[in-house]
Amino acid sequence: MKPLLLTNVRLIDPKSGLDKIGRLLVKEGKIAAVDMPESEKLPDACEIIDGQGAVLCPGLVDMRVTVGEPGYEYRETIATAAEASAAGGITTMAILPNSKPAIDNPALVTLLKAKGEETHSVNILPYGALSVGCEGKEMAEIGLLQEAGAIAFTDGNKALENTRLMMLTMAYARGYNCLVVQHPEDPSLARKGSATRGELATKLGLPSIPAAAEAIMIARDLRLAELTGCRLHFGHVSTAEGLGLIRQAKAKGLPVSCDTAPVYFDLNEDAIGDFRTYAKLSPPLRSEEDRQAVCQALADGTIDAIASDHLPRDVDDKRLPFAEAAAGGTGLVTLLSVTLLQVKKGDLSLSDALSLLTYRPAELLGQQFGTLSIGVDADLCLFDPDQNWLVEAGKLPGRAQNTPFDNRELPGVVLGTWKAGRRVYARQSS
């Protein structure tokens, strides 16, 4: 592999606080120099790329991704998800375990990691199932799964409903210093619901889910975290009440964290108007007041990470009456751009926004990714924050096309993505 110099780029590394125009040198797949002086001699046969002032940051770390493999390859494979992630500047994906079969044995953890390595374009970090089959009835083999490489434990888009089993699982996970990730939605309140309870759901005649279903589950699990000492993370938090509980728990010093997804700070329930199934998600889109609360929690640090919440569906999953259509949307390609909207609005600095997409999710998962430090793998994303692009369902990279941002013009064109120094995505000039 030839040495690579990226010059005339705005280097942003939120972990170190670096933000300046400079040069970055890559040798043998590792970052060899950051902010390299112009006078320093380049290695022989060095490839030089002029970034023309674009932002060069660590490759994004997406801590919440569902792929269709194994079991639902018609929706998305690891290879097609890797294609989409590279186009979105993502170099690390944490994969949820609710596949078919669920990732509840060590062999499947090993298989997923190997599949990621085969793509040569993305790090795959498999979650292990919290319960056998993600069915919430029996604790999974957490110790063996961790030994095989599972980075944390969750039942994916299912909450573990049984309180006693959740307590025992968290106590067990505490012994292994494992992170437990919960889908915060009381299943008994959410069952068969498809929209947030309120005036709009009533008007559309849709079965609804009260927003309190999130806060109820968060309140229960925070009490269990206090009881067991287990590190606890809540995925895609979307309500003011839920965020308020997490904010209070953090102030008390509990080992708790959370993420949200772009849909919950950019869209509100109005997006499901006209029964638009691409906007049917889990949890459902919320009220404008909840959306604003998510924006506030991003700004004040209550939210620790932004994840794509990529949940691929195919046409047959969505081409149904709203109440019957499957919940979920694609998110890999739009993760960076929708986050940049918060920067454009002045709600986040660019560095703070990138921190939520790089080293902060990596640290939650106990990984060393998401930084421009010398000696680490050269996982890089080069993007132009001021150039816009049009989201068009049917023309996105990857297999899944069910985006709730269809026909939106978004900022932040990814120009190039590098995995361990190897270029895995290059923007084609129009």
Instruction: Tell me which residues are annotated as active site.
Output: 309
DSSP code at position 425: E
d(CA 51, CA 58): 15
d(CA 224, CA 215): 14
Determine whether 284 is exposed, middle or buried from the number of CB atoms within 10 Å of its CB (0-12, 13-18, 19+).
Answer: buried
Half-sphere exposure of 36 (CA within 13 A, CB side): 23
Using the structure block, give the residue that is written with the tokens 């921190």: 355
Q: State the DSSP H helix or E strand holding residue 426, giving kind and residue range, or none if neither.
A: strand 422-426
Residue 89: partners with Cβ closer than 8 Å, 6 or more residues away: 59, 60, 336, 381, 383, 414, 417, 425
Rg (CA), the chain: 21
**Bridge partners for 260 per DSSP:** 306
**Other CB atoms closer than 10 Å to residue 395's CB: what's the count?**
8
Cβ atoms of residues 180 and 231 within 8 Å: yes
Using the structure block, give the residue that is written with the tokens 């759901």: 201
Produce one character per residue of 128-157: b if its CB has 16 or more CB atoms within 10 Å, e if not.
Answer: bbbbebbebeebbbbbebbebebbbbbbbb
Q: Are strands 4-13 and 18-27 parallel, antiparallel or unpaired?
A: antiparallel
Side chain identity, residue 231: R
Q: What is the DSSP string of 221-257?
A: HHHHHHHH--EEEESS---HHHHHHHHHHHHHT-SEE
Cβ atoms of residues 322 and 192 within 8 Å: no
